[in-house]
């Protein structure tokens, strides 16, 4: 039950980042993004926080609620968060509603790593 406050904090941070986004014309946004995909854009923060949250939530659900082993919970949490991040980038490329970005995947991986770090620190 020690991990519940950490998960709540991750959720609240991701919700506040999502509320800070500005709406732009989709076509202009896609053209601008394809040429200027910055490392520290709000979109990268969204990927980071969503991946950290998904990692923590899925780990908690498997480990605490389903009784899975620590190793199995870690692997499944990493797999789920990374799969959703990659699927989102594939969707961006196929749908034309976004621009796929390797930098988004890097932000996802960083979020997964921080999510696991928080879980490991909070379990000690």
Alpha-carbon distance 73 to 97, whole Å? 33
Average pLDDT over all residues of the chain: 80
Three-state SS for 10-52 is HHHHHHHHHHCCCCCCHHHHHHHHHHCCCCCCHHHHHHHHHHH
At residue 93, what are phi and psi to the nearest 5 degrees? -70, -40
Q: At what angle do helices 102-122 and 3-19 cross, to 10 degrees?
A: 150
Question: Residue 48: pLDDT above 60?
Answer: yes
Question: Residue 122: pLDDT above 60?
Answer: yes
Question: Residue 44: pLDDT above 90?
Answer: yes
1 band by pLDDT with thresholds 50, 70 and 90? very low
Q: What tokens does 1 get?
A: 């039950």
Alpha-carbon distance 50 to 35, whole Å? 24
Q: What tokens does 38 get?
A: 């910055």
Domain ranges of the chain: 40-124
Question: Residue 27: pLDDT above 80?
Answer: no
Tokens 């910055």 belong to residue:
38
Mean pLDDT for 62-80 is 93
- Burial (CB < 10 A; 0-12, 13-18, 19+), residue 43, is buried
């Amino acid at each position: 039950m020690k991990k519940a406050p950490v998960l709540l904090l991750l959720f609240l941070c991701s919700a506040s980042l999502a509320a800070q986004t500005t709406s732009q014309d989709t076509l202009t946004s896609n053209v601008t993004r394809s040429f200027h995909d910055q490392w520290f854009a709000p979109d990268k923060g969204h990927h980071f926080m969503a991946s950290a949250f998904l990692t923590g939530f899925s780990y908690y659900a498997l480990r605490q609620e389903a009784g899975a082993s620590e190793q199995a919970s870690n692997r499944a949490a990493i797999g789920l968060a990374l799969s959703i991040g990659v699927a989102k980038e594939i969707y961006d490329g196929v749908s034309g509603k976004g621009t796929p970005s390797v930098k988004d995947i890097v932000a996802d991986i960083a979020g997964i790593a921080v999510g696991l770090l928080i879980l490991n620190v909070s379990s000690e």
